[in-house]
Structure 1
Amino acid sequence: MAKILIVDDDPTTRLILKKALQNAGHSVFVAKNGLDGLTQVKTLHPALVICDWMMPQMNGLDFCAAVKADRTLATTYIILLTRRGHVDDRVKGLDSGADEFLSKPIEVQELTARVRAGLRLHRLAQELKEANQKLIARNHLLESLSMTDRLTGLLNRRALDRTLPHLLRQTYSTQGDQDYLCIFMMDIDRFKQVNDLHGHLVGDVVLRAVAERLLGIAHPQSSLYRYGGEEFTCVAPGLSPTLALEYGESLRMAVASSAINIPDGKTLPVTLSIGGAIASQNNRFSDRELLLQADGALYQAKQAGRNCLQFSQPQTANRERL
């Protein structure tokens, strides 16, 4: 049963239309003028509206334009009632948002035929809209999955590559508390030995546990990424050098403070080496340069004995992973 709204200031026309459409099995509502009709159409969301051209307060053309301007009503099929038969008038009606015309005096047989055709088109438009919504939702899901690391649930390197340039632009254009952007490159110490001695399944357990511990103490504004292999990255806006040092130490201690449970009731001590770098209004880097700064500091942390935090000096660094 389709929901149909009749908008007409003439009571006789309303009665004829309502009776004919009810006899055809439709659920029919009526409005006495364009303003009343506009209020009802926003409440009822009918599949089809039959609207008179000439009405007080709001004419049919303005009514059609107002309905079609509302995106939630865009698929509503509108039949415009009129005695006008000139091409210019029909063009005005179509340009205003009408989908079909019905000439006065009304022929019931023609009315019901045009309503059937309009409802078919409305159903097709609704099906297309729903299909597009499902496609958009699926694309969003695929986009989300493409930027999520399946093992740890963290964002991945692709997500970092996409968001870091944007965060840097924000940092360089902002005054006040957000004019710093800190990045930490974190590497699980001697992770190759974990895989060699305990196997890759245990290695996966360690990676997930490290991710969970980092998430557990992460600042609300910071973002965590699995950069690749045993490397993680944290991007933290708004941290001054002093606060960044404290935050980096808290990340390190979250992992080092207690051993990680692995299968067979065993535990495994795990530590991180961390390299930090800070971009600011007065110390600007591209995204690649900032990553190199943090990567160089990570190398220094490895050289310093591991399980420590080092911050970069403003120079790029190349190295091999220890």
Structure 2
Amino acid sequence: MDFRRLKYYCHNSLILVTSGDRQILSAIAEVLTSEKYNFITETSGEKAWEIILQKKPAIVIADWAIPDVSGLVLCHRSKSNLEHPELMAIYFVLIVEDSNSQQRQIGLDTGVDEFLNKPIDGSELKARLRTGIRLTALTKSLTWANQRLLAQNDLLDALGLSDSLTKVLSEQTFADVMPKMMQQLKGFGTYKNYSFLSVLIIDIDLFKAIVDSYGKKIGNEAINAIAGRLSHSCMPNSLIYRHGLDEFVCVTPHSDTTSGKQLSLNLLTSIRSHPIAVSSGLLFPLTISIGGVITALDNQNQQIPDISFEELVSLAEQLLFQSQQSGGDRDYLEIFE
């Protein structure tokens, strides 16, 4: 994680410390103050629970032996609260007796994330806090990323840009958008240090035999699974499109031709590495064939003519046919530098 973002979390994440022992509160508060953490201390377990509900701290440090509501009960309320599921993400540190292994076992069963021994050791506390901040920051980042991804998928569905089965971009979007995108990229030359564009057409080897033997439903599940693998294995700036029944197109800008060739190998490996699983329990050891073109966005070589979008796709399809005729599970690439 980015250091600046982690530093931001350290100073802006709320920490709740609750114990009936004021000496424990004082010892912990001293460390938190020296490390410039944002924190609240509370001697009452019930009041601590009200703070958890209202302020939703990132970390709770709670004593096992709070007179009214113990730290263990606070942890259980947080980790099992269906009305406020966001409380389950709180990093919960339980203060226990150093020699009491039974407290630790019960705490783990309840959902405690970490333990802090009595008497409080400053170095141990700092280590627990660093771990807690890192994990809560990572959880928030993953949650935000997932929300953005869901919002993006919803937008693509709303605009009719995604394929209804695989949720990658649709074949119609590829035909409508890609020619304009290619012209724009060429117009910018080395836009964002991207000097090349790869267009890889991907076909599932022997896919018709699966549909003939197991039916359309199983075939759709296999296509969907392969779309997921391709999406996870491509580069962050790649765009994956559906292209016909059992074909996909991966379009990616590159800084050099080497990364384009490596991307093609990565996609091949992602499918052959382990079988495709479907809901019926069947496993299909599938492979793919790839035909692709890697072309310079700003063509300085006068001996190589500019390739139109239609010519580029046609050439990639011819190379795909060669790959299939050679037995599949391989790629044929043409590079224009």
> Normalization by structure 2: what TM-score?
0.49
Q: CA deviation at 1:141?
A: 5.9
**Alpha-carbon displacement from aligned partner over 1:210-244 (angstroms, at most 9, x marks no partner):** 00101112211110011110000000012522211
Bigger Rg, which one: 1
**Alpha-carbon displacement from aligned partner over 1:82-111 (angstroms, at most 9, x marks no partner):** xxxxxxxxxxxxxxxxxxxxxxxxxxxxxx
1:292 aligned to 275, 294, 314, which one? Answer: 314
Structure 1 range deviating more: 196-205 or 304-313: 304-313
In the alignment, the residues of structure 2 paired with residue 196 and residue 239 of structure 1 have an alpha-carbon distance, to the nearest angstrom, of 42
Distance verdict in 2 for CA 1:243–1:190, change over 3 Å? same
Map residues 9-20 of structure 1 onto 2, 5 A cutoff. Answer: none
Map residues 125-140 of structure 1 onto 2, 5 A cutoff. Answer: none
In the alignment, the residues of structure 2 paired with residue 170 and residue 145 of structure 1 have an alpha-carbon distance, to the nearest angstrom, of 21
In the alignment, the residues of structure 1 paired with residue 169 and residue 266 of structure 2 have an alpha-carbon distance, to the nearest angstrom, of 20
Partner residue, 2:175: 161
Map residues 55-204 of structure 1 onto 2, 5 A cutoff. Answer: 144-176=158-190, 177-204=193-220
Amino acid at match of 1:214: L
In the alignment, the residues of structure 2 paired with residue 249 and residue 142 of structure 1 have an alpha-carbon distance, to the nearest angstrom, of 28
The alignment status of 1:225 with 2:225, answered yes or no, reads: no
In the alignment, the residues of structure 2 paired with residue 175 and residue 145 of structure 1 have an alpha-carbon distance, to the nearest angstrom, of 29
Partner residue, 1:309: 331
What percent of counterpart residues are identical?
30
Unmatched 5+ stretches in structure 2: 1-153
Indicate conservation of the 8 Å contact 1:149/1:226, yes or no: yes
Amino acid at match of 1:249: L
- DSSP-derived class of the 1:307 partner: coil
Partner residue, 2:55: none
Partner residue, 1:214: 230
2:281 aligned to 265, 281, 293, which one? Answer: 265
Indicate conservation of the 8 Å contact 1:278/1:290, yes or no: no
2:256 aligned to 235, 240, 250, which one? Answer: 240
Q: CA deviation at 1:265?
A: 2.0
In the alignment, the residues of structure 2 paired with residue 252 and residue 302 of structure 1 have an alpha-carbon distance, to the nearest angstrom, of 13
Distance verdict in 2 for CA 1:207–1:191, change over 3 Å? same
Partner residue, 1:252: 268
Q: CA deviation at 1:287?
A: 1.3
Amino acid at match of 2:171: R
- DSSP-derived class of the 1:155 partner: coil
Structure 1 range deviating more: 167-176 or 181-190: 167-176
Amino acid at match of 1:209: A
- DSSP-derived class of the 1:187 partner: strand
Indicate conservation of the 8 Å contact 1:273/1:308, yes or no: yes
2:294 aligned to 278, 286, 289, which one? Answer: 278
Distance verdict in 2 for CA 1:144–1:289, change over 3 Å? farther
- DSSP-derived class of the 1:263 partner: coil
- DSSP-derived class of the 1:249 partner: helix
In the alignment, the residues of structure 2 paired with residue 178 and residue 226 of structure 1 have an alpha-carbon distance, to the nearest angstrom, of 24
Indicate conservation of the 8 Å contact 1:182/1:239, yes or no: no
Q: CA deviation at 1:143?
A: 7.5
In the alignment, the residues of structure 1 paired with residue 196 and residue 262 of structure 2 have an alpha-carbon distance, to the nearest angstrom, of 15
Q: CA deviation at 1:263?
A: 3.3
After superposition, the CA RMSD in angstroms is: 2.0
1:205 aligned to 206, 221, 232, which one? Answer: 221
In the alignment, the residues of structure 2 paired with residue 310 and residue 244 of structure 1 have an alpha-carbon distance, to the nearest angstrom, of 12
Distance verdict in 2 for CA 1:143–1:259, change over 3 Å? closer
In the alignment, the residues of structure 2 paired with residue 150 and residue 158 of structure 1 have an alpha-carbon distance, to the nearest angstrom, of 12
Count of paired positions: 175
In the alignment, the residues of structure 1 paired with residue 160 and residue 244 of structure 2 have an alpha-carbon distance, to the nearest angstrom, of 14
Indicate conservation of the 8 Å contact 2:205/2:328, yes or no: yes
Distance verdict in 2 for CA 1:199–1:278, change over 3 Å? same
**Alpha-carbon displacement from aligned partner over 1:193-223 (angstroms, at most 9, x marks no partner):** 0101111111011000000101112211110
Amino acid at match of 1:213: R
Amino acid at match of 2:188: T
Indicate conservation of the 8 Å contact 2:295/2:335, yes or no: no
Indicate conservation of the 8 Å contact 2:294/2:335, yes or no: no
- DSSP-derived class of the 1:183 partner: strand
Q: CA deviation at 1:277?
A: 0.5
